[in-house]
Amino acid sequence: MKTKMTKKEIMQEILSYVKTIAISLLAAYIVCSKIVTQAQVPSGSMEDTIMTGSRVIMYRAAYWLEDPARGDIVAFRLPDDESQLLLKRIIGLPGETVEGIDGKVYINGEELEEPYIDTVYYGSFGPYVIPEDCYFMMGDNRGISWDSRFWNNKFVSKSAIQGKVKIELYPELKILE
């Protein structure tokens, strides 16, 4: 036998749904704005690692407990124009000297192993001494990448790094390490 709900019971039921929806929306907002987010890659500067038009997942909390590391692919605010969000690879760390000679990158005089580079690039740059709490960024597709080599402000501060790019979702699902 069905019993008829009172107005008070109906209001409590509606309030329960409203609370559940509000908590879910708040949790989604916190996760998307503070922990992870997605972005679309606008250029070919990271090809063949990440292709133009790819959708990637960025882990915003990656550097809460640890410092960025050489080789990490990160999203960051461009030092010359903070309205632009870019994706590049960390090449140089705070306190290091980075230099490019005939397409090879040297860190403190030692050639950097870069297995993620597919095409040969013959340009030279530097040497640059990287300030404390700053990083030197380069794209994997060196021939077309607009990166630290060419900016007026050569270095990205740790505070400008928005997160570490960990996963490519589309067009191919892959873990980026």
Name all domains of the chain by residue range, CATH numbers in brackets: 63-163 (2.10.109.10)
For the question of whether the overall pTM of this predicted structure is more than 0.75, the answer is yes
Summarised one tens digit per residue, pLDDT across range 107-164 is 999 999 999 887 778 889 999 999 999 999 999 999 899 999 999 999 999 999 999 9
What sign results for the dihedral spanned by CA atoms 118, 97, 94, 131? negative
State the residue for tokens 């209001």: 11
Catalytic residues, by residue number, are 45, 88
Summarised one tens digit per residue, pLDDT across range 42-95 is 888 888 888 888 888 888 888 988 999 999 999 999 999 988 889 999 999 999
Which residues on adjacent β-strands are paired with residue 89? 73, 138
